[in-house]
A and B are shown apart, each in its own frame.
Chain A
């Protein structure tokens, strides 16, 4: 059974940093592209970043480029999102998803950016 478990969310001040983790199980992690998608309170879904499986290609939304860094540890079956220079509009639930077209989703972790 595929499982994706996010952690690391919390309350942070504007300009601060946070690192999210996604622990994966139930599939061959190293081969799977992995993605972060976020959802601001009461709003729709927004793609954030993807890390490819077989290569080391990374992709970012313009809204986070230069501030967020996606990475993965295939030995630990874990995906990360390092978020720096956080802004109030980064407040959202952050979901970890699998594959190029998001076939499985985690339960999400809430990031609140507020002073």
Chain B
């Protein structure tokens, strides 16, 4: 199985400041079709998860452009350019390249 490792697991941030979450996979996430199926999800307190980013860097419709994804092969990053109060929650990376699908442990973003 591909192991997804996120860091940090807890991220206190100041409103208006940037934030960055790392996600590393134990194997390359390059699929045989050439795509990289790395997704980022946001789970606000008490809510269902919501996909923010797919295929490394593509934002879902309606996701603010302060969220961006980058990376390649085994090393990926989610960045929030200026954290807002509504960004509080837990963020998960997930690989969709191989079975079984696997998630990172989650990174809890909170306001200082």
- Nearest residue, chain B, Cβ from A4: B48
- B102 CB contact (under 8 Å) in A35, A47, A101, A106: A47
A47 near B37: Cβ-Cβ < 8 Å: no
Q: A106-B48, A107-B48 are in contact. Are A44 and B96 (CB under 8 A)?
A: no
A108 near B48: Cβ-Cβ < 8 Å: yes
- Nearest residue, chain A, Cβ from B1: A62
Q: Which residues of B contact A88 (CB under 8 A)?
A: none
Interface residue? A51 (CB, 8 A): no
Please give 17 more A-B residue pairs, beta carbons under 8 A apart, in addition to A50-B101, A101-B94.
A44-B92, A44-B105, A44-B106, A45-B43, A45-B49, A46-B103, A47-B102, A59-B100, A61-B100, A101-B37, A102-B41, A102-B49, A102-B51, A102-B96, A103-B60, A105-B48, A106-B48
Please classify the interface of chain A as helix (H, G, I), strand (E, B), loop, or mixed, using the class held by over half of its residues. Answer: loop
Interface residue? B50 (CB, 8 A): yes
Q: Which residues of B contact A106 (CB under 8 A)?
A: 48
What residues of chain B have their CB less than 8 Å away from a CB belonging to chain A? 37, 39, 41, 43, 48-51, 54, 60, 90, 92, 94, 96, 99-106
A45 near B41: Cβ-Cβ < 8 Å: yes
| Chain A 71-106 interface 0/1 with B at a Cβ cutoff of 8 Å (1 = within) | 000000000000000000000000100001111111
Q: Which residues of A contact B50 (CB under 8 A)?
A: 105
Most chain B CB atoms below 10 A, which of A37, A44, A45, A107? A45
A47 near B100: Cβ-Cβ < 8 Å: yes
Report the separation of the CA atoms of residues A77 and B29 in the bound assembly, to the nearest whole angstrom.
Answer: 32
Q: Which residues of A contact B37 (CB under 8 A)?
A: 100-101
Q: Which residues of A contact B100 (CB under 8 A)?
A: 47, 59, 61-62
